[in-house]
Amino acid sequence: MLRAYTPAHIVFPLPEGHRFPLYKYAGVRDRLLGKLPILDAELIPWELAATVHDVAYLNRWRYGEMSRAEEREYGLPWSVQVVDRARGAAGGTLAAMQDALTSGWGINLAGGTHHAFRNKAEGFCLLNDVAICSHLALREGVVKRILVLDLDVHQGNGTASMLSGYPEVFTLSIHGERNYPFRKEKSTLDIGLPDGVTDLEYVQVLETQVKPALEAFKPDLVFYLAGVDVLSNDRFGRFSLSLQGVEQRDRWVFTWCFGAGVPVVSVMAGGYNKNPEMTVLAAAQTIEVGLNLK
């Protein structure tokens, strides 16, 4: 049975005008209510996070002992709730992975925290949910070949770094070449695109570069980071995709995964539109597109 997970029940106060789009988690959940069951995500166990993250790093965040510089690089003021929310986002991906492996599609209405490194938080990312879950799935032997399809507008630098030693994992990132992170890590396949990419150009890249990679690698599990910061008018994106273009992108991905019978875990990743409603609309649309194809 299809269902989704969300950490939207874990909230925390943010300073007025703060750039973190906390609104989008509840917004997407509320928009999808009635379309599928939506469950509160459980907090990922610290021990599981410690299978890929540095334990001293985790403990600093667990007990609020990180430095001001670390806190600044993460981008959110520390609180128990902020850390719990990060654990809930990763817990949602964990539950969604279990769903994907049984029903073909697992849905987390958060996660895709791809800027988290083994021992460093960055860009609102504390725990690398996809790295934690990939490690677990491989260790348990439930899958042999994982593809991380990172279509957030920013490079999945943390994921690329954390999974670089895993030959069973293919990390694929399409991102703005001139956008943050300015020092890129090396994914298995990096597709850096210029500013202002349009719907048509984006879909062409999927057809000509992503499709051959998917077909050659033959994954038995896909993590899909469906960041909607590829939309035009995003505060931190530089692409020019329309809502319809994002719909085409999502349809392309789900059609490929469902058609090939490859379980897919969709996670939300970024979205910071200057019009907050657009972010909510586009992120909810990703799930609606999948529901229409399932």
- Quote the radius of gyration of the chain (alpha carbons, Å): 17
Q: By CB under 5 A, which span of 35-43, 52-60, 258-266, 270-278 interacts with Zn ion?
A: 270-278
Edge-to-edge strands, sheet with 4-6: 38-40, 4-6, 105-108, 264-267, 221-225, 146-150, 169-176, 189-193
Closest distance between Zn ion and the C-beta of residue 269, in Å?
6
* Smaller CB separation from Zn ion, 220 or 229: 229
Interaction with Zn ion in 144-203: which residues (CB under 5 A)? 152, 154
Cis peptide, bond prior to residue 45, ω within 30 of zero:
no
Q: Which residues pair with 38 in a beta bridge?
A: 4
Closest distance between Zn ion and the C-beta of residue 155, in Å?
9
Q: Is 229 in the site for Zn ion (CB under 5 A)?
A: yes
* Smaller CB separation from Zn ion, 92 or 271: 271
Q: Which residues pair with 168 in a beta bridge?
A: none
Closest distance between Zn ion and the C-beta of residue 224, in Å?
14
Helices 23-32 & 276-293 angle (0-180, nearest 10): 40
Q: How far apart are CA 174 and CA 77, in angstroms?
A: 30
* Smaller CB separation from Zn ion, 58 or 193: 193
Cis peptide, bond prior to residue 219, ω within 30 of zero:
no
Q: Which residues pair with 189 in a beta bridge?
A: 172
Q: By CB under 5 A, which span of 65-73, 98-106, 143-151, 227-235 interacts with Zn ion?
A: 227-235
* Smaller CB separation from Zn ion, 123 or 290: 123
Q: By CB under 5 A, which span of 1-9, 39-47, 72-80, 269-277 interacts with Zn ion?
A: 269-277
First to last CA, the chain: 11
Binding mask 26-45 for Zn ion (x = CB under 5 A): --------------------
Choosing from 115, 135, 154, 175, the catalytic residue is 115
* Smaller CB separation from Zn ion, 106 or 271: 271
3-class DSSP state for residue 45? coil
Binding residue (CB under 5 A) for Zn ion from 270, 278, 280, 289: 270
Residues 267 and 7: beta-carbon distance below 8 Å: no
Closest distance between Zn ion and the C-beta of residue 39, in Å?
25
* Smaller CB separation from Zn ion, 138 or 278: 278
Closest distance between Zn ion and the C-beta of residue 123, in Å?
8
Size of the site for Zn ion (CB under 5 A): 5
Q: Quick check: is 115 catalytic?
A: yes
* Helical (H) or strand (E) element with 6: strand 4-6
Closest distance between Zn ion and the C-beta of residue 27, in Å?
17
Q: How buried is 196 (Cβ within 10 angstroms: 0-12 exposed, 13-18 middle, 19+ buried)?
A: exposed
Instruction: Give the binding site for Zn ion (CB under 5 A).
Output: 152, 154, 227, 229, 270
Residues tagged active-site: 115
